[in-house]
Amino acid sequence: MAVSILMLTVNYSTMAQKNLVKNGGFEDELKGWVDYSAKATPYVFSSGKMSSALFSGDPSKWTGMHQIVALPKNTQYILMSAKIKVDDVGAGKEDWNGALFLFEMLGKGEAKIGEGINIASATGDQDWKPYERAYIVPPGTASIKLLFALGYVSGTMFVDDVSLKVISQAEYEKYL
């Protein structure tokens, strides 16, 4: 019994620290990511030797990339984070238009649950800046879709150090 508890604790501890995003630093270029115009670049990065760059010259379009991250069963609290740098990103017609970091919750069969939730929206010029969101995972959520996009704006967006970690309730409460 004591061994089981110890193993559970170790497993939880390991799980709690693990970044569930595959290739979140883009060191393997865009492996693990579904992209609709992203490019891995060695010229601009926050850490390591690479980042992902999104460019758009057409403010009528949505360009970006995403990764669906499977959650361990019964996950209750997660921390999502990324570093973003933007160059000459214009303001769109809507308030929410910009260089976006958002996520969606997916249920069984990757069915979308509710609406996408914005973590960051940046415009203009901005050096590398970390963004993060601690979130309570609603029951029935099997995976999280992390999205980065230039949402109906022109400009360049760089993304690096993308992470999604399972955290404890105590860690979650630090973000309240």
For other proteins, the binding residues (CB under 8 A) are: 76, 135-136, 138-140, 169, 172-173, 176
| Residue from 95, 137, 91 nearest 114 by CA | 137
DSSP class of 10: H
- 3-state SS, residue 28: coil
| Residue from 119, 90, 93, 114 nearest 104 by CA | 114
Nearer to other proteins, 31 or 174 (CB): 174
Nearer to other proteins, 37 or 76 (CB): 76
CB of 103 to other proteins, least distance (A): 12
CB of 144 to other proteins, least distance (A): 13
CB of 24 to other proteins, least distance (A): 23
Q: Are 69 and 76 in contact (CB under 8 A)?
A: no
Nearer to other proteins, 78 or 89 (CB): 78
CB of 98 to other proteins, least distance (A): 21
Nearer to other proteins, 99 or 105 (CB): 105
CB of 117 to other proteins, least distance (A): 8
| Residue from 28, 163, 165, 168 nearest 82 by CA | 163
DSSP class of 25: T
CB of 7 to other proteins, least distance (A): 20
Nearer to other proteins, 62 or 172 (CB): 172
Which residue is associated with the tokens 């669906």?
68
In whole angstroms, give the CA distance from residue 129 to residue 147.
17
Q: Are 20 and 55 in contact (CB under 8 A)?
A: no
Nearer to other proteins, 29 or 171 (CB): 171
Query: In Å, what is the CA distance from 87 to each residue of 47, 84, 101, 166?
Result: 18, 10, 15, 32
